[in-house]
C-alpha cells in the first residue's frame, strides 16, 4: 500500500487530489466484492456448524438399566415385563423385542435380569438438554437412576441397523441406504451405457447434420429441466403407461437415469475429445476400422475421464429427492427392499420424511442423516477428483 504523503504536495507533480475520491470509490467496490465472497464462505461454515451440532448427538442414544422379568405372562404381554414406573421411560419398541430376546437366549426364561433397555425418545432428548415432554415424576425417576449409574448414552447402532419407524428412538437409516443402493444401481445400469454410447456416437461417428444438432440441443435442454418434471414423466410413463410398480427402485432408478444422462454425456464427450487425433490416425493407418480404433484405442484412454464424470453424475443422483417423491418413494418404509420392484425409499427422501415428523428426536436424526449423506457425497467427489488427477495424461 503506497501511502500518500501530503507533505510533499508542493514539489510532487504526481500528487493528484482529484484521484482521492476515485481511489476511495474503487476501494469500496473491492470491499464489497470481498464481503460477498466472505459471506458465501461464512454461510457454508455456519451451515456446517449447525448441521454438525444438531446431528452429532444423534450418534449416541440413551439406555436405561432396568430389571426385566421373563416368563410366560410377560412374553405375551410385554408391558408387564418391567415395573410400572419404568413404562414411560423404556422404549415400547424395545419391549416388543422381549420375545425375540428369550428366543435367542432361552436361559433368561423364569428369571428377572437387569438389562440395558433402549430409553424412550423423550428421555433421550431430556438427557441431551433438548425440548422434552416428560412428566415431573418421570424426570425425577431418571435423575435418580442417573445418580445410580443406571442411565447411559451408548453409540447409536440402531441408526444404521434399523429401518424407518414411527417410534423415534427405533428409527434408522438402514432401509433408506439399501433403497438408495438399489436405486442408484439401476440408475447407473441405464445411464452409463446409454450416456457413453451417445457420447461416442456424437464425438466419433456423427456427421454435422440436423439430427446431430437436434440431439445436442436436447441434451442441453434436459440438463436445465427442473427435476420435478422428470418425476411427472416417471409417473405418467413408467408407472401409468408401462405399469411398473410405484415407489420401486426400478422406477426411481429409471427416472434418475434420464436426469443423469446429460452429465455423463457431456463429461464423456470431453474425455473423448481430449484424446489426440494422432492416436486415431495411427489406428486408421494400420488398417483398423473406426469401431476397432474407437473401442481398442480411444476408449481406454478416455476411460478415466468418463469414469470421473460418471462418479459426479452418481453423486448428483444420490441427492435427488423431488422426482422420487412424485413417483411415490416417500411412503413409510420400515423394511429394506430385497428386490428392485418392491416399494422402497432413498436417503434424501427419508430425510425429507423425518424432517416433517413432530417428535424432536427426528431433528437430530435428520441432521445425522445429512451428515452421513454429505460424507458419502464428499467422498465420491473427492474420489472423482483423485482419479482425474491420477490419470491426467499430459499429451
Partner 1 sequence: MSNKNSIKIDVNELNLWYGEHHALHNITVPLYENKITALIGPSGCGKSTFLRCLNRMNDLISSVKIDGSVVIDKKNIYDKDVDEVSVRKRVGMVFQQPNPFPKSIYDNVSYAPLKHGQVKKGKDCNELVERSLVDAGLWDEVKDKLNEPGTSLSGGQQQRLCIARTIAVKPEIILMDEPTSALDPISTEKIEALMLELKKKYSIITVTHNMQQAARVADYTAFFHLGKLIEYDETEVIFVNPSNKKTEDYITGRFG
Partner 2 sequence: MHSFESKNRSTVIKERIIKTLLITASTISILTTFGILFSILFEAIAFFELRSFWYFLTGTTWSPGQVGSQFGAVPIFTGTFMITLIAMAVAVPIGLGSAVYMSEYASHKVRDYLKPILEVLAGIPTVVYGFFAAITVAPLIVKVAAFFGLEATFNSALASGVVMGIMIIPVISSLSDDVIRAVPDSQRKASLGLGMTQGETIKNIVLPSAMPGIISAVLLGFSKAIGETMIVVMAAGLRPNLSFNPLEDMTTVTVRIVDALVGDQAFNSPETLVAFALGLTLFVVTLILNILSLMMIRKFKEKYKVNTL
Residues 186-225 that bind partner 2 (CB under 8 A): 193-194, 197-198, 200-202, 205-206, 214-215, 218-222, 224-225
**Contacting residues for 123 by C-beta, under 8 A, at least 6 apart:** 62, 64, 89, 132, 134, 138, 142
Q: Does 270 bind partner 2 (CB under 8 A)?
A: no
**Contacting residues for 317 by C-beta, under 8 A, at least 6 apart:** 184, 187, 191, 256, 259, 260
Instruction: Determine which residue in the list 299, 326, 336, 368 makes contact with partner 2, applying CB under 8 A.
Output: 326
Residue 33, contacted partner among partner 2, partner 1, none, CB below 5-8 A by kind = partner 2
Residue placing its CB nearer to partner 1 in the complex, 1 or 147: 1
d(CA 24, CA 15): 15
Q: Does 322 bind partner 2 (CB under 8 A)?
A: yes
Residue placing its CB nearer to partner 1 in the complex, 18 or 33: 18
As measured in angstroms, the least distance from the Cβ of 24 to partner 2 is 10
Taking each helix axis as running N to C, give the angle between helix 347-355 and helix 361-390, from 0 to 180 degrees, rounded to the nearest 10: 150
Residue placing its CB nearer to partner 2 in the complex, 138 or 320: 320
Instruction: Determine which residue in the list 233, 266, 274, 343 makes contact with partner 2, applying CB under 8 A.
Output: 233
As measured in angstroms, the least distance from the Cβ of 14 to partner 1 is 4
Record the cell numbers describing residue 336, joined without a space. 429394506
Q: Does 252 bind partner 2 (CB under 8 A)?
A: no
Q: Does 291 bind partner 2 (CB under 8 A)?
A: yes
d(CA 97, CA 169): 14
Residue 32 host element (H or E): helix 18-55
DSSP string, 217-244: HHHHHHHHS-HHHHHHHIIIIIIIIT-P
Q: Does 14 bind partner 1 (CB under 8 A)?
A: yes
Q: Does 28 bind partner 1 (CB under 8 A)?
A: no
Residue 5, contacted partner among partner 1, partner 2, none, CB below 5-8 A by kind = partner 1
Instruction: Determine which residue in the list 10, 18, 32, 72 makes contact with partner 1, applying CB under 8 A.
Output: 18
DSSP string, 93-137: HHHHTHHHHHHH-GGGTT-EEEEEEEBPHHHHHHHTTS-----HH
Instruction: Specify the stretch interacting with partner 2 by CB under 8 A; choose among 84-92, 175-183, 228-236, 243-251.
Output: 228-236
Report the site for partner 2 in 133-192 (rule: CB under 8 A): none
Positive or negative torsion for Cα 158, 159, 161, 167: positive
Instruction: Determine which residue in the list 302, 330, 333, 361 makes contact with partner 2, applying CB under 8 A.
Output: 330
Residue placing its CB nearer to partner 1 in the complex, 16 or 392: 16
Exposed/middle/buried for residue 343 (C-beta within 10 Å: 0-12, 13-18, 19+): middle
As measured in angstroms, the least distance from the Cβ of 32 to partner 1 is 20
Q: Does 25 bind partner 2 (CB under 8 A)?
A: yes
Record the cell numbers describing residue 366, joined without a space. 435428520
Instruction: Determine which residue in the list 356, 379, 389, 392 makes contact with partner 2, applying CB under 8 A.
Output: 356
Report the site for partner 1 in 74-113 (rule: CB under 8 A): none
User: Cα separations (Å) of 4 from 8, 17, 22?
Assistant: 9, 10, 14
Amino acid at each position: 500500500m503506497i501511502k500518500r504523503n501530503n507533505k510533499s504536495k508542493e514539489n510532487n507533480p504526481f500528487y493528484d487530489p482529484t484521484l482521492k475520491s476515485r481511489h476511495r470509490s474503487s476501494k469500496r467496490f473491492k470491499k464489497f466484492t470481498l464481503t460477498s465472497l466472505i459471506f458465501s464462505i461464512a454461510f457454508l461454515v455456519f451451515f456446517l456448524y449447525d448441521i454438525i451440532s444438531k446431528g452429532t448427538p444423534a450418534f449416541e442414544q440413551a439406555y436405561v438399566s432396568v430389571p426385566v422379568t421373563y416368563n410366560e405372562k410377560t412374553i405375551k404381554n410385554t408391558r408387564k415385563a418391567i415395573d410400572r414406573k419404568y413404562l414411560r421411560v423404556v422404549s415400547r419398541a424395545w419391549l416388543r423385542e422381549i420375545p425375540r430376546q428369550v428366543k435367542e437366549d432361552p436361559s433368561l426364561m423364569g428369571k428377572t435380569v437387569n438389562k440395558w433397555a433402549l430409553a424412550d425418545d423423550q428421555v433421550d432428548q431430556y438427557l441431551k438438554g433438548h425440548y422434552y415432554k416428560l412428566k415431573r415424576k418421570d424426570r425425577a425417576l431418571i435423575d435418580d437412576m442417573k445418580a445410580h449409574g443406571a442411565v447411559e448414552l451408548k453409540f447409536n447402532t440402531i441408526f444404521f441397523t434399523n429401518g424407518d419407524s414411527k417410534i423415534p428412538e427405533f428409527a434408522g437409516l438402514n432401509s433408506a441406504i439399501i433403497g438408495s443402493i438399489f436405486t442408484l444401481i439401476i440408475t447407473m445400469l441405464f445411464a452409463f451405457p446409454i450416456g457413453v454410447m451417445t457420447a461416442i456416437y456424437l464425438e466419433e461417428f456423427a456427421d454435422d447434420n440436423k439430427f446431430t444438432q437436434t440431439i445436442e440441443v436436447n441434451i442441453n435442454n434436459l440438463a436445465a429441466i427442473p427435476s420435478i418434471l422428470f418425476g411427472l414423466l416417471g409417473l405418467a410413463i413408467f408407472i401409468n403407461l408401462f405399469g411398473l410398480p410405484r415407489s420401486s427402485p426400478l422406477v426411481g432408478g429409471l427416472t434418475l437415469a434420464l436426469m443423469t444422462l446429460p452429465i455423463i454425456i457431456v463429461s464423456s464427450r470431453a474425455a473423448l475429445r481430449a484424446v489426440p487425433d494422432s492416436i486415431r490416425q495411427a489406428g486408421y493407418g494400420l488398417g483398423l476400422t473406426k469401431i476397432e480404433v474407437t473401442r481398442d484405442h480411444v476408449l481406454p484412454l478416455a476411460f478415466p475421464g468418463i469414469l470421473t464424470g460418471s462418479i459426479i453424475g452418481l453423486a448428483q443422483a444420490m441427492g435427488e429427492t423431488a422426482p422420487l417423491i412424485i413417483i411415490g418413494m416417500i411412503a413409510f418404509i420400515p423394511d429394506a427392499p430385497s428386490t428392485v420392484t418392491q416399494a422402497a425409499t432413498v436417503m434424501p427422501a427419508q430425510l425429507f420424511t423425518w424432517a416433517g415428523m413432530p417428535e424432536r428426536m427426528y431433528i437430530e436424526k435428520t441432521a445425522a442423516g445429512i451428515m452421513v449423506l454429505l460424507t458419502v457425497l464428499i467422498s465420491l467427489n473427492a474420489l472423482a477428483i483423485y482419479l482425474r488427477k491420477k490419470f491426467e495424461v499430459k499429451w
